[in-house]
């Protein structure tokens, strides 16, 4: 049986109008806002609720592995259950693991996260290739033959990264631009006939990529939604009266789309994500959804959690 590539599956999600990637980041302050304990059980509860809210709305979910890993074996067991829910819901899973090493060591990372049947199997993983793009070769068989994907760190939004990522190589290109070029070359060689390659790059949505030597002429036009999920807090930190958000204005939170996504949201995406934003506990009467705007079919509305409108 021919295995469909990760890029082909992602392109299918885009064609269906699903451009969102829901992050699952159960850090301590966010668990406290949800009224959950800062332990493996709390992380599992949050992760599974975000998956339930994302089904049929988002293209994929992206669990940040470190927030599960900090609880040891119990955290990994909780993560396995979240991943199982995501597979059952038909969601693509991007494991935010940011692994990077050489030779057999990186190959072992690929076995852990990409091998079919692995307890931690995901559809794609984030990787760091600053020791050379060729160090990712341990994952290439999974990408070519098993429908897996990679997202390579290129130009990230943290201020500390610029000194390294904007450094110039002997050929004049920046390190960030070289990561993009290497990913493009791999996709052209392995998936030349497909519209979307299986190796992507991580680009900070708040960056001027031209200063990193990265050409973005073909990128989607920046919209008034600022490449964020509509439930993200505005840059000023102000919130709509009566609403509540779970994130910090400096970064994406558990139910917010990936801040590195550069796809523009359609109006249908905006309405659907507002209706299905992951559940949050609140004491005041909910303002969202209304009778006129019910949640999409298949999205649970379990008590005592409610779906509310955020910004």
Catalytic residue IDs:
98
Instruction: Give a three-class secondary structure readout of 212-229.
Output: HCCCCCCCCCCCCCCCCC
Maximal C-alpha separation, the chain = 61
| Alpha-carbon span 301 to 258, nearest angstrom | 24
Instruction: Classify residue 257 by burial, with Cβ atoms within 10 Å: 0-12, 13-18, 19+.
Output: buried
Angle between helices 40-54 and 72-88 (to 10 degrees): 10
| Alpha-carbon span 211 to 5, nearest angstrom | 32
Picking from 150, 265, 147, 276, the residue whose alpha carbon sits closest to that of residue 205 is 265
């Amino acid at each position: 049986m021919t295995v469909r590539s990760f890029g082909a599956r992602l392109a299918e999600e885009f064609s269906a109008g699903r451009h969102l990637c829901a992050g699952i980041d159960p850090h301590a302050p966010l668990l406290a806002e949800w009224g959950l304990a800062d332990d493996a059980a709390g992380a599992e509860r949050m992760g599974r609720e975000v998956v339930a809210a994302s089904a049929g709305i988002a293209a994929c979910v992206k669990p940040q592995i470190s927030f599960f890993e900090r609880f040891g074996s119990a955290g990994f067991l909780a993560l396995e259950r979240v991943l199982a829910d995501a597979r059952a819901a038909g969601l693509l899973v991007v494991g935010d693991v940011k692994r990077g090493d050489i030779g057999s060591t990186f190959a072992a990372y690929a076995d852990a996260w990409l091998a079919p049947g692995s307890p931690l199997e995901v559809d794609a993983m984030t990787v760091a290739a600053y020791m050379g793009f060729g160090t990712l070769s341990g994952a290439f068989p999974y990408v070519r033959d098993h429908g897996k994907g990679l997202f390579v760190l290129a130009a990230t939004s943290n201020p500390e990264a610029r000194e390294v990522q904007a450094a110039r190589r002997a050929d004049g290109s920046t390190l960030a631009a070289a990561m993009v070029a290497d990913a493009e070359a791999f996709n052209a060689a392995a998936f030349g006939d497909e519209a979307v390659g299986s190796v992507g790059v991580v680009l900070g949505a708040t960056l001027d990529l031209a200063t990193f030597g990265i050409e973005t002429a073909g990128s989607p036009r920046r919209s008034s939604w600022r490449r964020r999920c509509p439930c993200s807090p505005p840059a000023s930190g102000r919130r709509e009266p009566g609403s509540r958000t779970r994130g910090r204005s400096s970064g994406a939170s558990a139910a917010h789309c990936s801040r590195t996504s550069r796809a523009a949201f359609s109006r249908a995406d905006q309405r659907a994500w507002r209706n299905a934003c992951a559940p949050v506990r609140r004491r005041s009467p909910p303002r969202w959804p209304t009778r006129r705007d019910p949640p999409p079919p298949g999205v649970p509305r379990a008590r005592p959690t409610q779906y509310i409108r955020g910004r």
